[in-house]
Structure 1
Amino acid sequence: MKAAIAAATAAVLTGCSAPAADAASSLDGTAWRLTEIQSMDDAQGTTTVPADQLYTVDFGVREGESGPAVFQIDCNRGSSTWQASAADSGSSGQLTFGPLAVTEMACPPGSLDQRVTRALTAVRSYLLQDGRLHLSLFADSGILTWEPTD
């Protein structure tokens, strides 16, 4: 498990030879649904997001350095800004969200809402691979895996 996370993190941080602007702009206007949370903590391991819980991010189109981001975090809604700078690979780079404004509804027991909210504030980079978006967290503490919402 730790090897898989380390490999994904290494893939995010390495580059090849595509124009840097294309990778960051590939997030513009896209929408994603969270499917999995990988943690470096062996006690938590990998968590598959239950089908009855909805976690999404909609990346608004950037104008200049940043753009709007809108989140569904189970029973709560959130908003922020996002900034990205692409690596040479054309499919990865640095990514951060600004301060998150999130509603404070009490979600049902078993909800991952607080865990996901904390993780979103720790996002530092992204990797687009095999039709999925992988967001790596600060200090290699985990990876959030998303699929397109179609």
Structure 2
Amino acid sequence: MHALQRLGRAIAASSVLASGVAVAATDPADLVGSHWQLIQFQSNDDNQPPLQPTGAGTYTLSLLSGGHAQLQLDCNQAQGTWTAVASRERSSGTFAFGPLAQTRMRCPETSLEPALTAKLPWVRTYRLERSNLYLGLMADGGILSWQRLDGRDGPTLWRVRQLDQAVSLRLVASQRGLVLRELASGTVLNNLGCSTADQSWCQVELPGGGGRGYVPLRDLESEPSTPLR
């Protein structure tokens, strides 16, 4: 059986359990206050290749307390509400977004923004596995895979995007912060956690104790994840 189908069925089964164990939407502690970056969207149709972010586009999701949701969808932003009900195992359950108010700038033709905007209203389930969040669409519509940004599970490997110029590692999370050093495209870093407020900064560290500081989230990308088997 296709790995995505196995994951989708596991999520669906957990949502059935959730109907018998009502948990407040703010109760799944691993979701409240969490921040995520999109890895890919995979359809359940084996003939459709996965959609993955490319270029400088940034796609992030923040699940804030009080049921507030904030998203960066490439060149657009969206905000609204989210609700979740955990299953007995508490790492999965039902999930839904409320209406999302979104800006309407025209993004590059390669942007995933239109596809994400169309799919988010159909999210119905969630599953947490290590540092990944999988949001399942209704009627086996596919899986949105996200990687944790907030550092709750410890450092994760990231790298500087392919850019025309070096990226500044700063002492504090501000464009006015002291520049500690310049980081070339492709530089691998330990991501210690990101904030999605304002310009979205991440605290990073060069492997081997080579220095710690802050870099804008838009200038980083996650190292490729091991594909589902």
- Name the counterpart of 1:61: 65
Output one character per residue of 1:64-92: Cα deviation in whole Å (capped at 9) or x when no partner.
xxx10000000000001000001111100
Kept after mapping to 2: 8 A contact 1:32/1:146: yes
Shift of the 77–130 alpha-carbon distance from structure 1 to 2, 3 Å rule, reads: same
Query: What is the TM-score of this pair, normalised by structure 2?
Result: 0.58
Give the distance between the partners of 2:68 and 2:75, measured in 1 at CA. Answer: 20
Return 5+ residue gaps in structure 2 as ranges.
150-192, 194-229
Match of 2:118 in 1: 118
- Classify the secondary structure of the residue corresponding to 1:14: helix
Counterpart residue number, 1:99: 99
Kept in 1, the 8 Å contact 2:5–2:44? The answer is: no
Name whichever structure is richer in helix by fraction: 1
Pair 1:48 & 2:49 matched: no
Equivalent-residue separation in structure 1 for 2:83 and 2:12 (angstroms): 17
Cα gap change, 1:40 to 1:75, in 2 (>3 Å): same
2:216 alignment counterpart: none
Maintained 8 Å contact 1:122/1:137: yes
Distance apart, 1:117 and its partner CA = 1.0
Distance (Å, rounded) in 2 between the aligned partners of 1:144 and 1:3 = 16
**Offset of 1:20 from its aligned partner?**
7.1
Task: For residue 96 of structure 1, give the secondary structure of its aligned residue in structure 2.
Answer: strand
What amino acid is aligned across from residue 54 of structure 1 in structure 2? T
2: CA distance, partners of 1:143 / 1:20: 24
Once the two structures are TM-superposed, the CA of residue 14 in structure 1 deviates from its matched residue by 3.5
TM-score (norm 1): 0.86
Secondary structure of 2:28's counterpart equals helix
Deviation at 1:11, TM superposition (A): 2.0
Partner of 2:32: 28
Q: Which has the larger radius of gyration?
A: 2
Unaligned stretches of 5+ residues in structure 1: none
Percent identity for Structure 1 against Structure 2: 37
1:3 corresponds to which residue? Answer: 2
Larger relative contact order (Cα-Cα within 8 Å, sequence gap ≥ 6): 1
